[in-house]
Structure 1
Amino acid sequence: MVNEGITMRDPVNADNTESVDYAVGQVARVAAVSVRTLHHYDEIGLVSPGRRTAAGYRRYSEADLQRLQHVLFYRELGFALEDITAILDDPATDTLAHLRRQHELLTRRIDRLRSMAAAVEHAMEANVLNIPLTPQERFEVFGDFVPEDHDEEARRRWGHTGTWRQSRAKMAAMTKADWARFTGEAAQTVRDFTEAYLAGVPATGERAMELAEGHRAHLTRWCYDCSYDLHRGLGDMYVADGRFAAGYEASAAGLTSYIRDAIHANADRAEHSG
């Protein structure tokens, strides 16, 4: 929240006879924006302080902070400042409507990032250049993600292994429908892990381990024979490689480590049961 942590009262309001308001420096620190940014927002009428002191200093009210919070949400979602001004000044839109709109937009972005994370994950695990797709089909499948960008890295990491050769052969045989099922399953796995994590299911619990086993089976079915040792290594790589982590963390902070821990717990269970 934008106003989280702001507790200092204006000295002129110390007797509680007026509403609490905040200095520009306080607002800048808590909202993680610069004072210059706040001055600019004031100058263009986007977020103007509710009052000024006799000396001309800006003082922001709770309502001003709420408006700033909406501005920062929309800015994060890529809206231009002039568009944000029009949105916030629409008399037909109240605070709840803004929050609903922001929630919808953020949900769309999360779904997109989940899909991209699944595509990046499997593109880095194996070379996907030989998937027999037309240019139009490749755009439908990958969007603006370019598998070739990761080809050299994948070759460098796994090109000398039998796993690489097996994965390359399986990927080359995939049709467009196969690839859609493959990425759809991967995205569902991320959603399931996210749901379990947010619900407080322990990574060493039965549910999380079953999800890890499902992930291992998914890789074996579509890519290569994924042993438990290999699966452990993938879990460790997800945490160590910031690109994997960025995709998972978009769903929930801490999700990457949770997936890694569930993978390790599942592998431990298999070893002990064997």
Structure 2
Amino acid sequence: MPDPVDADGLTLGQVSARLGVTVRALHHWDDIGLARPSLRTAAGYRLYTAADLERLHRIVVYREIGVGLDRIRAILDDPTADAVAALRAQRGQVTERIDRLRQLGDGLDRMIEAHERGPLLTTEQQAAIFGPGWDPDWAGQARQRYGHTIQWQQYAERAAARGPQEWQAVADAVAEHERALGAAMDAGVAPGSAEANRLVERHREVFAAYFPLSRQMQVCLGRRFEADPGFAAHYDGIRVGLAGWFRRIVDASARAHGIDPDTAAWE
């Protein structure tokens, strides 16, 4: 209950301090007729009586639990208003809000974890999805190297939304594309041809499961696939020379789009 009020009433500032309500809110409630001071000084300043303060106290209580001003007015002024029903309805809305906030909290936890370690999978799940050659430490190493980049942030955002089934779909799409690359190389598909360019575009689509890949970035990636021993071994394990062939079809596609592979940058 609010503290006793002097017979002369309380000023706007005193009420604001006592109830923890802004002067602006008190002005607004006065303007809309929700809580008007009963007294005025000779100079026209507002003075709140004990009854005024009691009403304000009730308004503050209802506002704190999220009841709207129109509903508060009805509860306080309409003798036919069912305050219990209004409060039960508000309780239901609060429960729904709590559930949404809990879901939001769970999502934030997943996002934080994904930023810290990449795929939210157990070691066993990673081995089953990405194959026995997959090193679970790769994500941690990538974070150490690229954690400050926008691409790692985009990767983490995608990882946070994926479970084992979603990651399996990503792994299947990558494997299917790599088989298509090997078959195209065996068939003698030439860099710059329509089929080669289609494979290059498909690579960008598949890679977007990790983060968006621009054409310039793809050139840099193709260069790394050939130069990095680990990546080269992976692609050459599919077809000997596949890493170099893939770089050549990417470079040819880039030239067709006005990009010089020799000067392409990660952007």
TM-score when normalising by structure 2: 0.50
Larger radius of gyration: 2
TM-score when normalising by structure 1: 0.48
User: Relative contact order (C-alpha < 8 Å, sep 6+): which is higher?
Assistant: 1
